[in-house]
Amino acid sequence: MAIYTRTLQQIGSSILISLPTEWVKKNLLTKGRIVNIETNSDNTISIYNINQNEEIKIEFNYHHDNYRLDIQNDKDKNSKINDIGKSTEDIKILLNKIFGAYLLGYNIINIKSKESISFDDSETIKKSIRKLIGLEIVDENNYNIKLQFLLDAKTLNIEKILNMMNSIITGMFRETIYSIDGKFNQDLIKKIASRDDEIDRQYFLLVRLIRTAIMNKKLASILNLSNIDMLDYRIAANFLETAGDLITELISYLTEVKEDKQITDLIKQTGFSLEEMQVYSIEAFTKMSRDKAFKVIENYEEFKISLSNLKKNIKSNKDILTNETSVVAVVNIISCLDKIAKCWIDITDLAKPTYLIKP
């Protein structure tokens, strides 16, 4: 980022400064063209070219190593294996580039090749971009795949995206905790995993929106997002995404202890405290409510008591102690629950530091 120094000039009652030549040329501005000037809350101003092209493009080259046809017969098998491995690595690198371009705010992503793009790689690309909300294939042939982000960033609402993630997580956690009452089955595991994938999709969209707004101050202004807002939402979304992963991990451990009623009752009691913590933490953050933040702290104290009772039960319950698998499972459950609670505490801390305890 270049920094320019200008001397204020006065003509009549107007105060004038000259614009940097490089910026004027880059935006194709000439005499008579109109620009927007916006005053910011931090006592700065922003100047926008109202005709600025927002279609940010990037292009990637596709490479695919076809099987060598001229190799000796006794080496055919090994060579094919090596080629397959190399091809797999190539497509992984390409997918990483696509995901990176999406998160960085590119609107058009072109994938070009000098040779025909294989059917398998084409399907792999299509399957992978389903995780990226708004990114669609708008043109495709044997040598080119054109991806475009079709959503208007100005119409997106960062708070709604965060609340959507939170709503999905609420359902995931509630159904996971209630599943230990005999409603647990493999179908629920698949549903929880699928919802975790949806959280990832919303998370990617939110990160893209924030990064785009950071690079485009005009968009940040339209979305009414300050730099600190964007930072806080990015952190909060990361904690939500982490909580989704932890719930997916938690449900796998619950299968080991669902037959022990004393343990399951304690897990449910601990889960109830976590549910309230989640509700209050998101409200504390999105509404900047000190009262909600203090409620999270109060719930956290209740949670720690429930978690302590769960730990004591492991030591006192002989049936559990004779089953090594169950002991390990309960320890892992305690770890997951504790990490989820810390996610809600950390989100609350964005609104009000947790060390400020209400008298």
Q: Which pLDDT tens digit goes with each residue over 259-289?
A: 667 778 888 888 888 998 999 999 999 988 8
- Dist. CA 168–CA 74, nearest whole Å: 55
Q: Confidence band (pLDDT; 50, 70, 90) for 351? A: confident
Q: What is the pLDDT of residue 86?
A: 42
Average pLDDT over residues 196-206: 95
Q: Are strands 57-61 and 108-112 parallel, antiparallel or unpaired?
A: parallel
pLDDT score, position 76: 42
* Residue-range domain boundaries for the chain: 9-49, 57-149, 156-351
Task: State how far the Cα of 121 lies from the Cα of 127, in Å rounded to an integer.
Answer: 10
pLDDT at 322 over 80: no
pLDDT band at 342 (very low <50, low <70, confident <90, very high): very high
Measured at the alpha carbon of residue 143, what is the angle toward residues 141 and 61, in degrees to the nearest 5?
Answer: 135
pLDDT given at position 71: 30
If you average pLDDT over every residue of the chain, what do you get?
A: 83
Are 351 and 295 in contact by the 8 Å Cβ rule? The answer is: no
- Residue 214: per-residue pLDDT: 86
Alpha-carbon gap, residue 165 to 188, rounded angstroms: 19
3 state SS of 111:
strand
Amino acid letter, residue 191? K
How many CB atoms sit inside 10 A of residue 112's CB? Answer: 13
- What is the fold of 156-351? Methane Monooxygenase Hydroxylase; Chain G, domain 1 (1.20.58)
Tokens 């978690």, residue? 307
- In the DSSP assignment, the letter for residue 73 is G
Model confidence at 315, in pLDDT bands (50, 70, 90)? low
Write the Ramachandran bin of 157: left for phi over 0, alpha for psi from -120 to 50, otherwise beta.
beta
Structure confidence by residue, pLDDT tens digits, 93-130:
999 999 999 999 899 999 999 888 989 999 999 999 99
User: What are the tens digits of pLDDT across the range 163-180?
Assistant: 999 999 999 999 888 877
Backbone angles phi, psi at 354, to 5 degrees: -70, -15
* pLDDT at 356 (0 to 100): 47
**57-149 belongs to which CATH class?**
alpha beta
> What pLDDT is recorded for position 183?
59
Check: CB of residue 161 under 8 Å from CB of residue 209.
yes
List C-alpha distances in Å: 211 to 103, 134, 200, 233. 7, 16, 16, 11
Residue with tokens 């299968």: 255
Strands (E), 12-134: 14-16, 35-39, 45-49, 57-61, 108-112
State the pTM of this model.
Answer: 0.78
Tokens 């956690």 — which residue? Answer: 173
CA distances from 341 to 5, 94, 334, 338 (A): 50, 37, 11, 5
* Whether 239 contacts 343, CB under 8 Å: yes
